[in-house]
């Protein structure tokens, strides 16, 4: 079942990501006065939770330097109302998807996709999933393109919450998680350091901690996971993948596989449109060459 969860994520993530850095999303956030990438990112991720404070924001996001978060939260709520942010990002996602996927509204596939995705989202267990639960509580729009995006946003945020629970359960902290990710080649170290807001001291101390636990090996300017580090990373990913097993079982594995296969051409178009920013670096996870 976990493999099905991973395959589901491969179509969920790109469809959801159009609300971050696409031209439509950037314009929508700027129209609300959110003009910097950190303001736009944190507003996007957190608006469904309401005007929360910096400590809560850093806690639910897990991987960010609390000081970095505090530079944007709660200031963003004084710039734009969270409800307006939620509306703007949803409308931006719809506009972007319609531009990239011509004819999506009239597609004979959309009704069944929406039905399956909604059943998956409604079948999730939201205990311990604050961002996923907040996303779900936004409610379903009547627009089928937006309804599919809403379900995928719920599924994505629920998975993200599950990933951080699994990370913490395996004794990996909010700095170390990025280094494990960089060391296995998933994303560039300098990018992860920059977007998570950790300073040089915190970054180097985390490397030292991972080395002492025999999870990370350094040689010269490069680093790699040790066999123990690889095992920890696999265990975290397996625990993350298992988060949606109950919902997948309830909906039916074959229906979930059908959803994924049906969406593959759409995901290719989204990837080719280059609207998901830095996450395009992970396109090997989402493309089937």
CATH code: domain of residue 177: 1.10.10.10
Q: How far is CA 163 from the centre of its chain?
A: 10
User: How many separate domains does the chain show?
Assistant: 2
Shared domain check, 193 and 83: no
Shared domain check, 158 and 58: yes
Q: Using only C-alpha atoms, what is the Rg of the chain?
A: 19
Encoding tokens for residue 199?
């300073």
Shared domain check, 74 and 43: yes
Percent share of the chain, pLDDT over 90: 89
69 in Cβ contact with 57 (< 8 Å): yes
pLDDT of 107 higher than 70 = yes
Domain coverage including residue 204: 170-235
Question: Which of 195, 219, 235 is the endpoint of a domain?
Answer: 235
- Per-residue confidence at 186, pLDDT binned at 50, 70, 90? confident
Listed as own residue / partner, the contacts of 66-69 with beta carbons closer than 8 Å and 24 or more positions apart are 67/197, 68/38, 68/196, 68/197, 68/198, 69/42, 69/197
> DSSP assignment, residue 125?
-
Question: CB under 8 Å to 138, separation ≥6 — which residues?
Answer: 48, 86, 150
Shared domain check, 127 and 111: yes
Shared domain check, 71 and 32: yes
pLDDT of 286 higher than 50 = no
| Helix or strand run (H / E) with residue 61 | helix 54-61
Question: Who has greater pLDDT, 225 or 271?
Answer: 225
12-21, 90-99, 172-181, 278-287: least confidently modelled range: 278-287
Shared domain check, 208 and 99: no
Q: What is the pTM of this model?
A: 0.95
Q: What pLDDT was estimated at residue 279?
A: 53
Shared domain check, 218 and 271: no
Neighbours of 59 (CB within 10 A): 16
pLDDT of 2 higher than 90 = no
């Amino acid at each position: 079942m976990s493999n099905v969860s991973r395959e589901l994520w491969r179509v969920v993530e790109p469809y959801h990501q159009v609300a971050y850095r696409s031209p439509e999303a950037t314009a929508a956030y700027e129209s609300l006065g959110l003009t910097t990438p950190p303001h736009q990112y944190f507003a996007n991720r957190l608006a469904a939770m309401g005007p929360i404070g910096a400590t809560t924001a850093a806690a639910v996001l897990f991987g960010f330097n609390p000081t970095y978060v505090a530079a944007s939260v709660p200031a963003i709520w004084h710039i734009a109302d969270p409800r307006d942010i939620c509306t703007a990002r949803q409308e931006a996602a719809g506009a972007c998807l319609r531009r990239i996927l011509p004819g999506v509204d009239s597609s004979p596939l959309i009704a069944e996709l929406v039905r399956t995705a909604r059943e998956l989202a409604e079948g999730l267990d939201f205990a311990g999933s604050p961002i996923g639960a907040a996303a779900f509580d936004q409610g379903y729009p009547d627009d089928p393109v937006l309804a599919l995006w809403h379900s995928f946003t719920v599924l994505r945020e629920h998975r993200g919450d599950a990933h951080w629970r699994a990370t913490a359960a395996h004794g990996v902290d909010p700095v170390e998680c990025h280094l494990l990710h960089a060391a296995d080649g998933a994303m560039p170290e300098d990018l992860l350091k920059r977007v998570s807001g950790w300073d040089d001291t915190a970054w180097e101390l985390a490397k030292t901690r991972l080395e002492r636990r025999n999870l990370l090996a350094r040689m010269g300017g490069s680093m790699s996971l040790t066999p123990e580090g690889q095992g920890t990373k696999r265990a975290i990913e397996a625990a993350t993948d298992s988060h949606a097993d109950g919902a997948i079982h309830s909906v039916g594995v074959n229906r979930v596989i059908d959803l994924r296969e049906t969406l593959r051409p759409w995901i290719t178009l989204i990837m080719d449109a280059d609207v998901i920013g830095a996450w395009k670096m992970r396109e090997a996870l989402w493309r089937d060459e």
